[in-house]
Amino acid sequence: MKKFTVLLMVFVLSLMVSGVTMASGTEQESKQATMTVDKVYYMKGSGYYVAHTTKDEEGHFWVLQVTDIAIPKEDKSFTEVLRKQYQGKQVVVTYAEPLNDDEEVEIWGVKLK
């Protein structure tokens, strides 16, 4: 499994998708990863605030999108509020690994512990 970096549209709300199946009719198996939020910052290129987790034993980590709406310029006070709210907290990411190496990881849900 390659190093994966994914963006999640909603970090605060948990999305659960049921009955995910592949075209072949085989059901994907969900996995969970519990990680700690290492840092929260404004990503200039996208205009979103993101949370970056610590790496696991294999060097994998998550980049999770915290805000729904992109803004053209960082609001430093809002960045600080998000850091206090999320930094150091654990998140449980429920996902399905791709069956092929060229596919992306599909996130089914994110829950703040």
What is the rounded distance in angstroms from the CA atom of residue 21 to the CA atom of residue 63? Answer: 25
Handedness of CA 31, 103, 111, 19 (dihedral sign): negative
- Encode pLDDT of 39-51 as tens digits: 999 999 999 999 9
pLDDT digits (tens, 9 = 90+) for 8-60: 333 333 333 333 333 444 566 788 889 999 999 999 999 999 999 999 888 88
Across the chain, what does the average pLDDT equal?
Answer: 78
Give the Cα separation of 64 and 1 in Å (integer): 19
DSSP 48-107: EEEEEEPP-TTS---EEE--SS--SS--HHHHHHHHHHHTT-EEEEEEE--SSTTSPPEE
Instruction: Identify whether the C-beta of residue 111 lies closer than 8 Å to the C-beta of residue 91.
Output: yes
pTM to 2 decimals?
0.67
The residue ranking higher by pLDDT, 1 or 54, is 54
Lowest average pLDDT, out of 1-5, 46-50, 77-81, goes to 1-5
